């Protein structure tokens, strides 16, 4: 468990750390920030800067944004300064927050949805042998077996993530997106609020996850967001696993989850309950690697059999 120098409630109030020289301060209130984005002219300014190759002068930005009234344009530009736009010696450019705002528009989490029939995948369910498919329901994307209703992945993904890909590629985009989100959470960063996350082994997952006897629960200490992974899939990016499989001709970082049989089947073994220890076997090209995880889902030992 990561040590904290500040109780969770203090951080949530925006007070920031109570020790050292650093502090997290509120630059602008949330309602003010969202109000700034609720104007077409301001959004045109942000889009123009996002599309530019570099900083734009006042006149160049005015022309790119397509606003006829210079006074009105200047008013809205001033509103955006310091938060979404900065002025430099070379001209105007987006801040990180400005890029995030335009990125959210392009990604479409607030404005778009996916309407598509299931997309078949050339892979079989390891439980019943039926064909897998990518299923799209608004922002929720699943790679699932439509016969036994078992989900390999299920995650909310911005619709814009699929726009540049052919429809048959959508399940693979969803798989890459989901794995990246879990990698972020495994590093202790919440994908919703960027707060600190904790992980723990769950030896009684139940519910939607009852296909697996053991899982890993990730929980954000700030917003409470929870994510779940079967324990086998949780170790895919561990260095020992990556090296073991790569030596045998398999790049697990570039192989879809459903092609890694050991990662999508309940193969883990509960070794002890006090302390909690779980063995996760990885099989590749006839060889076997076993990782032992502790109660926080951290790998503590590895051995080859």
pLDDT digits (tens, 9 = 90+) for 109-126: 888 888 899 999 999 888
Cα–Cα distance measured from residue 41 to residue 46, given in angstroms and rounded to the nearest whole number: 9
pLDDT of residue 235: 97
Q: Which residue matches tokens 């050991």? A: 262
Handedness of CA 35, 36, 41, 45 (dihedral sign): negative
CA-closest candidate to residue 124, choices 288, 280, 256: 256
Phi, psi of 68, deg, nearest 5: -75, -40
Tokens at 171, concatenated: 């399940």
pLDDT of residue 163: 92
Q: Which stretches of 197-304 are assigned E, i.e. beta strand? A: 197-202, 215-220, 226-230, 269-273, 276-284, 287-293, 299-304
pLDDT of residue 150: 84
Cα–Cα distance measured from residue 296 to residue 291, given in angstroms and rounded to the nearest whole number: 14
pTM, two decimals, is 0.81
Cα–Cα distance measured from residue 242 to residue 251, given in angstroms and rounded to the nearest whole number: 7
10 Å CB burial of residue 201 (0-12, 13-18, 19+) is: buried
pLDDT of residue 207: 56
Residue-wise pLDDT for 260-294, tens only, equals: 999 999 999 999 999 999 999 999 999 999 999 99
pLDDT of residue 210: 60
Please report which confidence band the pLDDT of residue 20 belongs to, taking 50, 70 and 90 as the band edges. low
pLDDT of residue 67: 83
């Amino acid at each position: 468990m990561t040590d904290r120098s500040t109780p969770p409630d203090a951080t949530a109030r925006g007070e920031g750390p109570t020790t050292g020289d650093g502090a997290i301060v509120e630059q602008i209130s949330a309602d003010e920030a969202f109000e700034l984005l609720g104007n077409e002219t301001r959004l045109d300014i942000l889009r123009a800067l996002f599309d530019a190759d570099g900083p734009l002068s006042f006149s160049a930005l005015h022309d790119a944004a397509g606003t006829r009234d210079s006074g009105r344009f200047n008013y809205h530009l001033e509103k955006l300064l310091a938060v979404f736009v900065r002025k430099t010696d070379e001209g105007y450019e987006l801040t990180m927050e400005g890029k995030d705002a335009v990125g959210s528009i392009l990604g479409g989490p607030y404005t778009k949805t996916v309407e598509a029939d299931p997309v078949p995948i050339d892979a079989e369910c390891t439980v019943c042998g039926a064909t897998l498919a990518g299923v799209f329901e608004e922002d929720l994307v699943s790679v699932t077996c439509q016969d036994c209703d078992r989900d390999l992945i299920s995650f909310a993904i911005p619709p814009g993530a699929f726009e540049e890909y052919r429809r048959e590629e959508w399940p693979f985009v969803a798989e890459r997106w989901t794995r990246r989100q879990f990698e972020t959470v495994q590093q202790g960063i919440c994908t919703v609020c960027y707060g600190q996350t904790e992980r723990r082994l769950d030896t009684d997952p139940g519910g939607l996850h009852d296909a697996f006897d053991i899982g890993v629960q990730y929980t954000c200490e700030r917003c409470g967001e929870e994510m779940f992974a079967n324990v086998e899939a949780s170790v895919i990016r561990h260095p020992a696993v990556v090296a073991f499989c790569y030596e045998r001709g398999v790049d697990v970082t570039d192989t879809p989850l459903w092609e890694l049989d050991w990662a999508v089947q309940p193969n883990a073994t509960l070794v002890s309950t006090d302390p909690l220890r779980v063995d996760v076997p990885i099989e590749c090209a006839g060889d076997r690697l076993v990782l032992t995880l502790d109660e926080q889902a951290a790998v503590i030992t590895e051995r080859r059999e």
